[in-house]
């Protein structure tokens, strides 16, 4: 998956969500997040096996895996067939890369906050569990349950620093992170 595919996904789902007969920004954001998650998963495999990004960027490795199969065997827990890449990126990327390209997510305060909020939104939209709602309230509503809005309404409210809707704010951050991951500033 490439940054152009992320951009294309954002455009597709923006167009779908903005249709007056649809107006479902929560579902659009979920679909974009799924593509972003796939992008991150593919990118850590690409980088960890010594392959460059679409722009030719190749981070220096502490550990180089021979192929995707070896990488996944290392990342898989127990008998699970699925690798939870996002959690593995957070925990292990600093041990794989000399200058961790994923630091732009976790060391930048704005990106980290938005990333955590996006994960909470994704989990609540997908599951609507009490635990997911509690995390969403803590991360997006300053822990105040009285301020809670369902994700579709929340995404139409304005983020304070940019005055963009939260939907636009989050999709912009997703796009920016994707671009920085494949072509970090020098």
Number of domains in the chain: 1
pLDDT at position 68 over 90: yes
* Pairwise CA distance, residues 68 & 50, whole Å: 11
Residue 173 three-state SS: helix
Give which of 46, 48, 160, 29 is closest to 96, Cα–Cα. Answer: 48
- Rounded to 5°, the CA angle 98-91-70 comes to 75
The residue-averaged pLDDT of 116-138 equals 96
* Pairwise CA distance, residues 143 & 36, whole Å: 27
Segments forming the whole domain that contains residue 128: 3-182
* Pairwise CA distance, residues 122 & 26, whole Å: 9
Interval 71-107: pLDDT, tens: 999 998 777 778 889 999 999 999 999 999 999 999 9
Interval 108-119: pLDDT, tens: 999 999 999 999
pTM here is 0.93
């Amino acid at each position: 998956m490439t940054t152009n595919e992320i951009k294309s996904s954002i455009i597709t789902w923006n167009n779908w969500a903005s249709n007056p007969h649809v107006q479902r920004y929560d579902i659009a954001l979920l679909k974009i997040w799924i593509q972003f998650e796939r992008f991150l998963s593919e990118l850590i495999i690409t980088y960890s096996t010594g392959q460059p990004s679409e722009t030719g960027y190749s981070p220096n490795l502490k550990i180089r895996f021979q192929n995707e199969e070896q990488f996944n065997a290392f990342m898989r827990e127990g008998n699970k067939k699925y690798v939870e890449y996002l959690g593995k990126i957070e925990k292990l990327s600093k041990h794989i890369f000399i200058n961790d390209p994923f630091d732009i997510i976790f060391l930048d305060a704005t990106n980290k906050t938005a990333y955590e909020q996006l994960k909470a939104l994704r989990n609540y939209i997908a599951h609507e569990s009490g635990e997911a709602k509690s995390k969403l309230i803590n991360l997006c509503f300053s822990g105040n349950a009285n301020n809670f809005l369902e994700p579709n309404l929340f995404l139409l409210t304005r983020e304070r620093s940019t005055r963009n809707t939260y939907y636009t704010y989050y999709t912009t951050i997703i796009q920016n992170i994707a671009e920085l991951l494949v072509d970090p500033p020098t």
